[in-house]
Amino acid sequence: SSAASDVYKRQALERAIVYLREGKAIVFFPEGTVERQEQMIAAHTGVAMLALRSGATMLPIAHSGTRRVLRRGQGWFPRVDIQIGAPYIPIIPDGVPRKAGLQFITQEVMEHIAEMLPAERRGVYGKQ
């Protein structure tokens, strides 16, 4: 990544933190991408960092059928399912270093999302 894109990313994160502190909501895809497959992939820790730095409550949301929205031949109103989980206040456990704590929170929120999806969609967050 270039220095310019790093500055842009940092500015975007700082703006998101300000919005969250103001009580505004933002939509965040923890995976860092919109995956073409229907299974969950590993998330980045940015969502945990945003929540901790802003003090925001997280609201896990699972969705399915969104791929159909962009496909031709699906009609005007293809079915999209959205499930909203319980509000979640992330906390790093006592004695856990920050980096490990961010990973812990990320794993925990992704597991909350995975629980709302059918087993075949949970991907890397399926129970072993």
pLDDT for 56-90, tens place per residue?
999 999 988 766 666 666 667 777 889 999 998 99
Phi first, then psi: what are they for 86, rounded to 5°?
A: -75, 145
The pLDDT profile of the chain, 128 residues, written as one tens digit per residue, is 677 788 888 898 899 999 999 999 998 888 887 666 778 999 999 999 999 999 999 999 998 876 666 666 666 777 788 999 999 899 999 999 999 999 999 999 999 999 999 999 999 998 75
Contact 64, 40 (CB under 8 A): no
Say what angle helices 46-54 and 98-115 make with each other, to 10 degrees: 110
Instruction: Give the pLDDT of residue 7.
Output: 84
Count CA atoms closer than 13 A to 75's CA, side-chain side: 4
Angle at 43 between CA 38 and CA 45, to 5 degrees: 160
Angle at 85 between CA 99 and CA 100, to 5 degrees: 10
| Helices of type H across 22-84 | 46-54, 66-70
pTM above 0.75, yes or no: yes
Burial (Cβ within 10 Å: 0-12, 13-18, ≥19) of residue 38? middle
Contact 60, 112 (CB under 8 A): yes
